[in-house]
Amino acid sequence: MNPPPPPFPAGRRELWAWCFYDFANSSFSTLIVTVAYSVYFVQVVAADVSPPGMAERLWFWGYALSMLVVALVSPVLGALADIRAIKRRVLIVSTLLCVFSTALLWFVHRGDVMLGLLIFGIANIGFDVGFVFCSAFLVELVPPQRMGRLSGYGWGFGYAGGLLSLALAYPFLAGGFADTNLASYRLSFVVTAVFFLSATLPTFLYLHERAQPRALPDGLTVWRAVMRQLRDTARRLSAYRDLRRYFIAYLLYSDAINTVIVASGIFANKVLDFTPGDLIIYFLVTQITAGLGSVGFGFVADRMGAVRSITVTLVLWIGVVIGAAAVQTHGQFYLLGLVAGAALGANQSVSRTLLGRFTPLGHQGEFFGFFSVAGKFAAILGPIVYGEVTAWTGSQRWAVLSMTLFFLVGLAVFVGVDERRGMAAAQE
């Protein structure tokens, strides 16, 4: 096996190129997953599906299934990328898959339920795989004491991308779901694809692959080597006590966070009667606090530790979901969104930082692949629970309140993580 690449030779241009991927892909997570397409699917594509609540159930089940695919392929792709040194190539291919599929959403019309779920699912798989492999570069770019800062810059820059993509999409979405505006509304999906592709070009051009292909043992094919590495990783995880505990906690709390994000646009539209224009303004506001939270907590994580920082964000999230279950007015929801945005940006930034600190050099793709497995399996149960509670009770208020349990159990597991011990294990 070849030694890992020399650490941290990245220059300023390459660091910005890495951050640009967060800037680019935020257009998809903001407009397709949260604000525009998810609401379009429930209100237009599946509008004629009965009984009440079935449209939401179909959306959340479709989203969960796409996350299942990502959870299954991420560790295999991660191990393969470590062996073949192809993180950058996988990043490019998965991004192009997402961009092309996002543009194809233009062809999804009223009643195209299965087509709409299939195209979205493919796009979402490409999006999440790309995110995993971009994140895996973090370990190579800066030393552990600077990871929080760089991750925070990336997330903060990402929310700036979300703001810009929302502003560009606003003219297409403002007319809502009137029949005369549906063509314009669908055009916003094409705008999202073009934005994603254009903004990710600096990443494609300037982010370098430093890893070297590893020599395969005699008689082993690449795929057998991948399977062996995955088996060895599973065994090694038993020695990484804090990383293993962090995986479990992340599985639980990211489940709730991801579900709240995916459901927020649908919740605002159906429970509080937000129009598509209202949603754009709402998410413009929350993107600002999310960006400030991600950058600010990046510095906080470097000073007071990632574990303490994540604990603070989880307490904030518990307050947010309880408040969302009781909110009655647009003004209250806007105020809640400010807090949720800050907690979201902070948690995302610091969670990636903590994994980077717990990851040994030479195993970035593999460990981040397992991190993706935790996150994507987490993204399966929460949406299903949300959709089923909505269908059973007829109320999304009970559905959002059900996320409190995930946060509480995740926090209870997470408080046992020792950051210094986990970093020491990675260095050994």
pLDDT of residue 372: 66
Report the half-sphere exposure of 311 (CA within 13 A, side-chain side).
13
Q: Each residue of 154-185: pLDDT tens digit?
A: 777 887 888 899 899 999 998 889 899 999 99
Domains of the chain, earliest start first: 12-202+225-427 (1.20.1250.20)
pLDDT 10s digits, 18-40: 899 999 999 999 999 988 999 99
Q: Sign of the C-alpha dihedral, residues 13, 87, 257, 52?
A: positive
428 Cβ contact list (under 8 Å, min separation 6)? none
- pLDDT over 70 at 348, yes or no: yes
Whether residue 6 has pLDDT greater than 50: no
Long-range contacts of 386-389 (CB under 8 A, 24+ apart): 386/56, 386/60, 386/259, 386/263, 387/56, 387/57, 387/58, 387/59, 387/60, 387/61, 388/57
Q: Is the dihedral of CA 350, 355, 361, 362 positive or negative?
A: negative
More confident residue, 6 or 154: 154
Predicted pLDDT at 283: 83
Supply 31's token pair.
């407009």
Q: Fill in the amino acid letter for 203.
A: T
Query: Does residue 243 contact residue 237 with C-beta atoms inside 8 Å?
Result: yes
Residue 144 has pLDDT above 60, yes or no: yes
Residue 82 pLDDT more than 80? Answer: no
CA distance 341 to 338: 5
Place of tokens 């397409």: 37
The per-residue DSSP string of 245-307 comes to HHHHHHHHHHHHHHHHHHHHHHHHHHHS---HHHHHHHHHHHHHHHHHHHHHHHHHHHHH-HH
The CA distance from 226 to 229, in Å, is 5
* Dist CA 28 CA 186 (whole Å): 14
229-247 per-position pLDDT tens digit: 767 777 777 778 888 888 8
Rounded to whole angstroms, the Cα distance separating 423 from 359 reads: 8
| Residue-level length of the chain | 428
Could you give the C-alpha distances from 363 to 139, 230, 232, 290, 349, in angstroms and in order? 9, 11, 11, 30, 20
Q: Which SS3 state, helix, strand or coil, does residue 97 take?
A: helix
Name the band, by pLDDT with cuts 50, 70 and 90, for residue 194: very high
Q: What is the mean pLDDT of residues 242-257?
A: 87
- Of 408, 411, 414, 419, the C-alpha closest to 304 is 419
216, burial (CB in 10 Å: exposed 0-12, middle 13-18, buried 19+): middle
Across 82-96, 224-238, 310-324, the highest mean pLDDT is recorded for 310-324
pLDDT of residue 362: 65
In the predicted model, is pLDDT for residue 17 greater than 70?
yes
Structure tokens belonging to residue 146: 């600077």
Residue 125 tokens read as 């798989």
List all residues 6 or more positions away from 54 whose beta carbon is below 8 Å from its beta carbon.
46, 391
Per residue in 293-308, pLDDT tens? Answer: 767 766 776 777 788 8
Please check whether residue 309 is in contact with residue 391, taking contact to mean a CB–CB distance below 8 angstroms.
no
Are the C-beta atoms of residues 272 and 400 closer than 8 Å to each other?
no
Task: Decide: 288 and 159 in contact? Cβ < 8 Å.
Answer: yes
What local confidence, expressed as pLDDT, does residue 8 receive? 56
Over residues 108-143, the pLDDT tens digits come to 999 999 999 999 999 999 998 898 888 778 777 877
Which residues, in sequence order, are CB contacts of 72 under 8 Å at separation 6+?
none
Place of tokens 């009970």: 398
Give the model's pLDDT for residue 215.
72
At 212 the pLDDT is 76
Its pTM stands at: 0.79
What confidence category does residue 7 fall into, taking pLDDT thresholds of 50, 70 and 90? Answer: low
The more confidently predicted of residues 326 and 293 is 326
- pLDDT for residue 46: 93
Say how many C-beta atoms besides its own lie within 10 A of residue 55's C-beta. Answer: 25
